[in-house]
Structure formats: structure tokens, C-alpha cells
Amino acid sequence: MKKYSDPPSGQQAENKAPKRVTILDVARAARVSAGTVSNALSGKRQVDPETRARIDAAIAALGYVPNRAARALRHGRSNLIAVCSSMPWQVAGGSSRLGFLMEVVAAVAPVALRHGIAVTLLPAEAEAEGFLDRIALDGAIVIEPLREDPFLRALRAQALPVVVIGQPPVPDWVHVDLDYPAVTRLLCDHLYGAGARRFPLLTGQEDRVVHEETIRAYRAFAAERGMVPEVLRLPEAAGEAGSAALMTERLARRDIDAVLVPVDTFASGVMAAARGLGLVVPHDLRIATRYDGLRARQEVPGLTAVDLNLPEAAAHCIRLLLALIAGEGVPPATPVAPPRLIPRGSTR
């Protein structure tokens, strides 16, 4: 008896062509028709126990394993969805492997798996290399798209079911609303409540819808409170170091008492800049970020952040996507529970 930990036969340079075993081979060996074998496997039709035994024996003897590509063709389902982010891998996966893409994948994957579908990751490069027409997908989730997002364009061209998580460029796209305006408002109010009277917003430079929404909400808050708004933008790829450099310069002017930094990588940079200038957080400078990831939790002091209810959002995404795949109609916008502030040392 072979143990499963035996080396895989045929992986070495043995020249035996593996010659795939088909359902027809099994059928022949069991002296039945292919259709019967198929039914035995799927259980969609009654099959004589004795016949079944012969089939099982044949399957075991031949080592038959169904061809998934053929099934996918037949069923019109690949059981695979993509999670797309128009951020380059450098940013999305990140040198710290901590991008929002990974976060969303981490939230989406288990839900998807529970529904019998697997998840593949598609960063910006994938679109460029035309991955959407290389692999068989049942649908896709697009994270925080750009205003003119190549993934959305390509997905629509493919007529694939799509759910956007975050802000879609136009509200007609089926999307799960993370309500970034509310999130921004929450953070602004918190900073203000903590005593901050002048704080710039530091965010990404790309033409991402989420940035627009955030900036809009920030400006609205500033107008309301009579605070002078200041929006600093930095290329996403600049990362922690870029943020630290920019903010070291900005903080040197000593005219602000807090910074609102939605992107957590940038927030780390601001922390570094503050340290470099000898500023004590939160005493000399308060910092609040949006995404409550490992960075926010591990910084010293911890970064005040927001619980975006990602698991719930992910569950919605999958539910919606499955409905779309099934051809059912769904409402374009699905709300998640209101964002919840997670106050930490950085604003206390």
C-alpha cells in the first residue's frame, strides 16, 4: 500500500506520458456507458448498487479524476472569482504584504470558499497583461476602483458579473458601500473632539473614487468648523518612506496639531516623521488613520482607526456576486453597518 507521503510518481523525468484517464475509460472498464458513470458520480440519477460498485472499482483502479475544464465548459461555471485591485502589486500586495487588497482577500476568501468558489488575486499588472481573458472567471470583485478603471472596462467587455467594494465611479455599478464620507466624518469629528484645530489630510494621488469622496467630506467638515483645509497628496507607491519625507518637511512648520491619514502605510510614515522631529504623539501631534490593520495596531502608540466592517462587506459581496451569476437582479447599492471608531493612543 502506498502512503500518501510517498513521492509523486511521474514527477521525475520518467518519460511515461501520463495519458489522462477519461470518464470513457472508466465506463469501458466498468462495462457501462459514460453517461452512467457520470450519473454515478453526480448522483443525479439512480444507479444499481452493483453497477456502482463496478464503477467505483474502475475509478480506483484507473485513478480517474474528472476534468474540471470540461466541467467548466459544460456547466458554464468555473467556480472561480477574481478580486481585482487597480493598485500595482507593489502597493496592493506591498513590500509589507499588507495592502488593502490582501485585507479584502482575507475577508472575502473564507466566505467565498464556504460557497464553493475559489478566489484569485488580480493586481493592476494583471489587467495590463490581459488576465481577464486568460482565465475562466464566474465574476469579479473590484476594490476601490479608479474613476476610469481598466478592470471595470475589461469586465464589462467580458459581460462578467461585478461587485464593487467601496465607491464605484458611477452608482449604477452593483456595489457594497463602505460609506467613506461617513468614515471621514467620523475621523474628523474625533480629531476635533480630541482638541485638534488644524489638521491636513494626507492621502493618495491616484484618481481613485475613494479619495475624491474622502477629500469632499474633509472639506465639508473644514468649512463647517471654519478650519483651513489642506489636502496633501502622495503617489501610492511612495509608501512609508515617501510619507515620512513629505511630512518631515510639513511638520517642521509646527503649525498643525494633527494629521488625518486614511492610508495606513502613509500613517506609519507620519509616525516616523514625528519621531524624527522629536514630536510626541499624541501630545504634540495626533494621528488618525482609516484602515484598522496590523500597522494601526502595532504602532506605538496605536493608531486610532476605523472598523469598516470588512467581514460583513465581504459577505455581502459574495452574496451579491452569486446572485448576479445566477442571473438574479440585485440592488445597485448595499450598505454595511455604520463605521465604528477605534480610538487608540495616537489621539488620546
Nearby residues of 258 by Cβ (< 8 Å), 6 or more positions away: 191, 194, 196, 198, 199, 285, 286, 287, 288, 347
Give the pairing of strands 231-234 and 286-291.
Answer: unpaired
Among 12, 44, 253, 283, binds a copy of itself (CB under 8 A): 12
Handedness of CA 183, 184, 188, 189 (dihedral sign): negative
Query: Interface with DNA by CB under 7 A: which range of 30-38, 112-120, 126-134, 246-254?
Result: 30-38
Residue 109 in contact with a copy of itself, rule: CB under 8 A: yes
The footprint of a copy of itself on residues 246-275 (CB under 8 A) is 268
Measured from the CB atom, the residue of 70 and 300 that comes closer to DNA is 70
Report 55-74 residues binding a copy of itself (CB under 8 A). Answer: 63, 65-70, 72-73
Residue from 30, 324, 336, 344 touching a copy of itself (CB under 8 A): that is 324
Instruction: Pick out residues in 40-99 that bind DNA (CB under 7 A).
Output: 41-42, 44-48, 50-52, 64, 66-67, 70-71, 73-76
Residue 235: all three cell numbers together = 503617489
How far apart (Å, rounded) are the C-alpha atoms in residues 144 and 187? 19
**Binder of residue 334, out of DNA, a copy of itself, none (CB less than 5 to 8 A by kind):** none
Q: Is 129 a residue that touches a copy of itself (CB under 8 A)? A: yes
Which is nearest to 259 in space by CA: 217, 203, 204? 203
Q: Which amino acid is at 287?
A: I
* Burial of 244 from C-beta contacts in 10 A (0-12 / 13-18 / 19+): buried
- 23 contacts which partner out of a copy of itself, DNA, none, CB within 5 to 8 A by kind? DNA
Under the binding rule (CB under 7 A), the answer on residue 32 touching DNA is yes
Q: Give me the least distance between CB of 130 and DNA, in Å please.
A: 13
**Under 8 Å between Cβ of 271 and 304:** no
Binding at 153: pick from a copy of itself, DNA, none (beta carbon under 5-8 Å per type): a copy of itself
